[in-house]
């Protein structure tokens, strides 16, 4: 059996990021073969990843990537905010966004199966990060916007790196106008989306189920009134709802005297070509994930017992 030297252990730790004892065990099991030890750790890491898969991963990062007239947003979750500040995790989130951008897909399963620049697939890269960092991680969702001509505006709230943060927004602007003015308009609208959190682009884009729920609320609040009166109340109430929920109808945060649609129209005149607001994506980290509540004192007491 080959000797497991301190230098070999050091090399394996630097190569994999695994703990010292894990590296020593891997080298012992692999008879000192460094590459075989890497494989041994990967297999062990994958096993660990499976055990961690039932933990709630509601922290992490939203990552944005844009190239030309295409932009993508992905959400990579971890268990703790501490891991989100890890440079390796940040590089992973950025790398996955880059894979999604180049592959031109927002299908999470297809992204997971895509080749990762450092080797293997995206799924392999996530599993290796789980083994190295020691927390459950998951690629939760992705979205893509693309226009034939124009620009993709971006904004990341409380950014901790290039295109990385807790809230990420993409805005698609279709136009033949060129230059920094269109990109700046996209950035301002993206900031608006981050702050105002619209539910849809316009009235026609509102989910039918959401619309029916709003109608039912208005009907219930005004129950007992004549049918013709109730119909007018519902119609008026929906107009108010659209102003609050639809991006084009919301007061523009940079100039509340105008709606977003009016601001876009005026910008088109200034830029010398019409501008059409085609869509937006707003990812807020962990939205919709049911987080587990824990009693830290009870956990410590349990460990002590």
Q: Are residues 68 and 124 in the same domain?
A: yes
CB atoms within 10 A of CB 75: 25
Whether 265 maps to a domain, the answer reads no
Whether 296 maps to a domain, the answer reads no
Distance (Å, whole) CA 146 – CA 194: 19
- Residue 111, token pair as written in the block: 């992204």
Q: What angle do CA 271, 201, 163 make, to 5 degrees?
A: 70
Per-residue pLDDT of the chain (305 residues), as tens digits, is 567 888 888 777 766 666 677 788 888 888 888 888 877 776 666 334 444 444 555 689 999 999 999 999 999 999 888 888 999 999 999 999 999 999 999 999 999 999 999 899 999 999 999 888 888 899 999 999 999 999 999 999 989 999 999 999 999 999 999 878 999 999 999 999 999 999 999 999 999 988 888 888 888 888 888 888 888 888 888 898 899 999 999 999 999 999 999 999 999 999 999 999 999 999 999 887 655 544 445 544 544 44
Q: Are residues 73 and 47 in the same domain?
A: no
- Whose CA is closest to 145, among 179, 211, 184, 190? 190
Q: Which residues share a beta bridge with 200?
A: 246
Q: What is the pTM of this model?
A: 0.75
Whether 117 maps to a domain, the answer reads yes
Distance (Å, whole) CA 284 – CA 150: 25
Strand 275-284 relative to strand 167-175: parallel, antiparallel, unpaired? antiparallel
Distance (Å, whole) CA 76 – CA 63: 8
Return the exposure string of 147-162: e unless at least 16 CB atoms fall within 10 Å of the residue's CB, then b: beebbbbbbbbeeeee
Q: Are residues 89 and 130 in the same domain?
A: yes
Whether 186 maps to a domain, the answer reads no
Q: Are residues 84 and 101 in the same domain?
A: yes
Last residue of a domain, one of 106, 128, 146: 146
- Residue 211, token pair as written in the block: 């619309």
Q: Are residues 64 and 40 in the same domain?
A: no
Whether 97 maps to a domain, the answer reads yes
Rounded alpha-carbon distances, angstroms, from residue 149 to 68, 70, 173, 275: 9, 10, 8, 10
Whether 95 maps to a domain, the answer reads yes
- Whose CA is closest to 134, among 10, 39, 44? 44
* Residue tagged 């450092």 (tokens): 118
Q: What is the pLDDT of residue 132?
A: 85
Whether 70 maps to a domain, the answer reads yes
What SS3 state is found at 303?
helix
Whether 27 maps to a domain, the answer reads yes
Q: Are residues 62 and 136 in the same domain?
A: yes
- CATH number, residue 13: 1.10.8.10
Q: Are residues 39 and 64 in the same domain?
A: no
Q: What is the pLDDT of residue 305?
A: 45
In the chain, how many domains are there?
Answer: 3
Q: Are residues 17 and 36 in the same domain?
A: yes
Distance (Å, whole) CA 298 – CA 108: 37
- Residue 44, token pair as written in the block: 């062990």
Element (H, E) at 251: strand 251-252
- Residue 39, token pair as written in the block: 């494989």
Distance (Å, whole) CA 45 – CA 209: 43
What SS3 state is found at 63?
strand
CB atoms within 10 A of CB 42: 18
Structural domain for 111, as ranges: 57-146
Last residue of a domain, one of 146, 176, 199: 146
Terminal C-alpha separation, the chain = 42
Q: What is the pLDDT of residue 45?
A: 60
């Amino acid at each position: 059996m080959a000797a497991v030297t301190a230098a070999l252990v050091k090399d394996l730790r630097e190569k994999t990021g695994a703990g010292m004892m894990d590296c020593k065990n891997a080298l012992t099991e692999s008879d000192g073969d460094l590459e075989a030890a890497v494989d041994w750790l990967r297999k062990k890491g994958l096993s660990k990843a499976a055990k961690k898969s039932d933990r709630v991963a509601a922290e992490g990062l939203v990552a944005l990537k844009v190239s030309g007239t295409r932009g993508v947003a992905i959400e990579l979750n971890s268990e703790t905010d501490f891991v989100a500040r890890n440079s390796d995790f940040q590089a992973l989130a950025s790398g996955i966004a880059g894979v999604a951008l180049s592959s031109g897909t927002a299908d999470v399963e297809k992204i997971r199966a895509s080749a990762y620049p450092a080797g293997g697939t995206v799924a392999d890269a996530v599993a290796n990060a789980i083994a190295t960092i020691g927390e459950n991680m998951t690629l939760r969702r992705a979205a893509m916007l693309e226009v034939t001509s124009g620009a993709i505006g971006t904004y990341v709230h409380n950014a901790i790196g290039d295109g990385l943060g807790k809230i990420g927004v993409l805005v698609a602007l279709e136009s033949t106008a060129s230059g920094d003015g269109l990109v700046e308009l996209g950035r301002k609208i993206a900031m608006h989306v981050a702050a105002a959190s619209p539910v849809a682009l316009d009235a026609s884009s509102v989910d039918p189920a959401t619309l029916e729920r709003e109608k039912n609320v208005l009907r219930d609040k005004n129950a007992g009134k004549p049918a013709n009166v109730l119909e007018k109340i519902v119609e008026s109430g929906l107009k108010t709802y659209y102003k609050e929920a639809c991006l084009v109808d919301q007061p523009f945060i940079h100039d509340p005297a105008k709606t977003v649609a009016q601001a876009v129209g005026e910008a088109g005149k200034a830029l010398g070509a019409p501008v059409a607001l085609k869509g937006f994506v707003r990812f807020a980290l962990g939205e919709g994930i049911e987080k587990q509540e824990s009693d830290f004192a009870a956990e410590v007491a349990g460990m002590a017992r």
